[in-house]
Amino acid sequence: MDNHTLKKEILKLKHELHVSIVAHFYQKDEVFELADFSGDSLQLAQWAAKDSNPYLVFCGVGFMGQSVKILAPEKRVFMPKIACCAMARMIDVDYFDQNVAILEKAGIKKEDILPVTYINSSADVKAAVGKMNGYVCTSSNAKKIITKALESNKKILFVPDRCLGQNIAKEMGLKSCVVGDGSDPKEADILCYNGFCSVHQLFDVDDIAFYRAKYPDILIVTHPECKPEVCDLSDFVGSTSQIIEYVKKLPSEQKVAIGTEYNMIKRLRQENTYVLSSSKPECPTMNETTLQDVYNVLLSIKEGRFENEISVLEETRKWAHTALNRMFEL
Ligand code: 13P
Ligand code: SF4
């Protein structure tokens, strides 16, 4: 089937089966256009958990579909491709426990550590964090969650994105370190796990220097998964939806260079908009989902095969829900 026919068939099946489709901003255009709702990680989880349709097709990466299942266990959640965010894959429960053990060896008691996990992590990691009374955060609310977590007077173990942890620490005037990098964790307030997003690592201070030299009035806008030195030199740092909101308010003649995923940048603004990198910042996992996959998953619902359904063990779900819910309560 060509793309036009596929789209028509998808819309027909979606209507007939009472399915909602949501898509993250990084999805391919043809998939993104089909969505009933699109947003950043926080907005997607909130919208999807409240949606009244019994079936949800989530176009994004694995942890996003899992988050909906954790929040709304009665909903049947499907993903056209169960593509796992490369950063989320950098940490599992064993690595989490290993980090806690390293901190204990360095003289920090387990009861003096409060974990906060970025939503880009598996249900298992969220559950481990929930068991230690910790929180989940997203790029749009990390500062608020960490502020709350610090009221406990404990050290924050931030997983898995070291850049987000370091960026928030800097913004709040706090000290951070990367666990296991040789520095003394007793000196730091935020102890970061050594994970990162390879897409956002592409943006560098040299790219900023290049654009500022070429267009002295240009604005530099980046996602907090970028390196701290890049965020330091940016005019605005925010989650995907915060970037969209910021750029949309700019006058059309204002030049802007953006450091985040390519699909989102190219859809955002046609003129005076630049990608803050000489190589194309494409997220391989976000780009795995195709129109054919969306069609296939809908057909499998119709035929009762229910392929690519997201499931989370009840014990894991319960603890992961505790950690996610602490974020929503704020
Ligand atoms: P947002 O929550 O800002 O949409 O970020 C998700 C993500 O994976 C960015 O790389
Ligand atoms: Fe994960 Fe990075 Fe892709 Fe976001 S851009 S989904 S953090 S790999």
**What confidence tens digit (pLDDT) does each residue in 14-25 have?**
999 999 999 999
State the closest ligand 2 atom to the C-alpha of 261, by its place in the atom list counted from 1.
Answer: 5
- Quickly state the pLDDT bin for 165 (edges 50, 70, 90): very high
CB-based contact 58:65 (threshold 8 Å): yes
Q: Which token pair is 265?
A: 């940048």
State the ligand closest to the CA atom of 83: 2
pLDDT, residue 42, reads 87
- Quickly state the pLDDT bin for 265 (edges 50, 70, 90): very high
Residue ID of nearest Cα to ligand 1 atom 6: 41
Ligand 2 pocket, mutate which of 26, 59, 197 (most atoms under 8 A from CB): 197
CB-based contact 309:78 (threshold 8 Å): yes
Q: Is the CB of 310 under 6 A from ligand 1?
A: no
How far does the centroid of ligand 1 lie from the alpha carbon of residue 29, in Å?
17
Ligand 1 pocket, mutate which of 22, 25, 26, 84 (most atoms under 8 A from CB): 26
How far does the centroid of ligand 1 lie from the alpha carbon of residue 315, in Å?
27
Whole-prediction pTM value?
A: 0.96
Name the burial class of residue 233, with classes exposed (0-12), middle (13-18) and buried (19+) by CB atoms within 10 angstroms of its CB.
middle
Q: Is the CB of 240 under 6 A from ligand 1?
A: yes
Distances (CA, A) of 277 to 207, 234, 262, 328: 6, 14, 10, 35
Q: Which residue(s) pair with 136 in the sheet?
A: 117
pLDDT, residue 234, reads 98
Q: Which token pair is 162?
A: 């070291």
| Structural domains of the chain ordered from first start | 3-84+286-311 (3.40.50.10800), 88-197 (3.40.50.10800), 200-275 (3.40.50.10800)
How far does the centroid of ligand 2 lie from the alpha carbon of residue 236, in Å?
20
- Quickly state the pLDDT bin for 214 (edges 50, 70, 90): very high
Instruction: Give per-residue pLDDT as tens, 270-301.
Output: 999 999 999 999 999 999 999 999 999 999 99
User: Is residue 330 scored above 90 in pLDDT?
Assistant: no
Q: What is the dihedral of CA 207, 221, 264, 89, to 10 degrees?
A: 80
Q: Is the CB of 124 under 6 A from ligand 1?
A: no
How far does the centroid of ligand 1 lie from the alpha carbon of residue 64, in Å?
10
pLDDT, residue 317, reads 98
- Quickly state the pLDDT bin for 54 (edges 50, 70, 90): very high
Residue ID of nearest Cα to ligand 1 atom 2: 41
Mean pLDDT computed over 149-160: 97
pLDDT, residue 204, reads 98
User: Is residue 134 scored above 90 in pLDDT?
Assistant: yes
